[in-house]
Amino acid sequence: MIPPEESKEITGFESGTVHPFSTQLRHLVDERIFEKEEVSHTVGETKKAVIIDVEAFREALEESEFSYEIDDFAVSTEEDIREVREKGLEEASARFVVRNGYRKTFMDLSEDYSVDRVLDALKAFDREGLDLERIEDVLERADGQTHLQNLVEHLSTEGSLPEASDFDLEEVVEDVVEENPYAVRDFRDGQDSAVNFFIGQIMQRTNGKADAGKARELLLEELGDES
């Protein structure tokens, strides 16, 4: 906090009386405000304040001429962590969500997706240093954890998500096996790395959308039929 004299010099108001619409300074608005029904703030005087509907406050922000950012700016609390844990996360995971400012995003997304899937997406976005703007797009498209990771990696490197494509996994497996007779021979000779090669080819053909577990199951069935 700056000294009172500096506050008045910068804003024109005494400390404790500066209100959200008193200056053209950039504003940082904590997202928790919009979880309430009403907002109260001073009006520039020590003994007066106003209480307004939270949506009216949001509209006022949108009409303002200053720049503002709505995000998770508050210091995390044990209550925040407990709230996230009640969704079914372990404490370490809950702390990751809260301390990285993902609390509201996690709470919102967990209404429509499993908590484990949302956590995987948050960790993937965090690892790649991505903004969460496209996280719901990824969750909607991801068929499994591997596909989710591939989508996030594609978004990180290309700046966009890959084109969605429909495919028959069984046909893809059959084609990959038919087109790689040397890898089939390696598999029959006991080289386990051949399976990883096939899985890599399947993922490449499906833009990472195939479920790795199902692909492995179908692959082993197909290689068994070939023997």
d(CA 61, CA 137): 27
Phi, psi (deg, nearest 5) at residue 28: -110, 120
Q: So what's the pLDDT on residue 225?
A: 56
Q: So what's the pLDDT on residue 227?
A: 43
Q: How do strand 49-53 and strand 38-42 relate by DSSP bridges?
A: antiparallel
Q: For residue 25, what are the contacts with CB-CB under 8 A and spacing of at least 6?
A: 10, 11, 66
d(CA 80, CA 227): 57
Q: How do strand 68-71 and strand 27-30 relate by DSSP bridges?
A: parallel
**Tens digit of pLDDT per residue, the chain (227 long)?**
788 888 888 888 888 899 999 888 999 998 889 988 999 999 998 889 999 999 999 999 999 999 999 888 877 788 999 999 999 999 999 999 998 989 999 999 999 999 999 999 999 999 999 999 999 999 998 867 777 888 899 899 999 987 766 678 888 899 999 999 999 999 988 888 899 999 999 988 887 777 888 888 999 999 885 54
The DSSP output letter for 156 is H
The DSSP string of 20-79 is: TTS--S-EEEEGGGGGSSEEEEE-SSTT-EEEEEHHHHHHHHHH-SS-EEEE--SPP-HH
CB 202 within 8 A of CB 184: no
pTM for the full model?
Answer: 0.56
Q: So what's the pLDDT on residue 165?
A: 64
What the chain holds in terms of domains, given with CATH numbers, is 4-71 (3.90.960.10), 78-158 (no CATH), 169-226 (1.10.10.410)
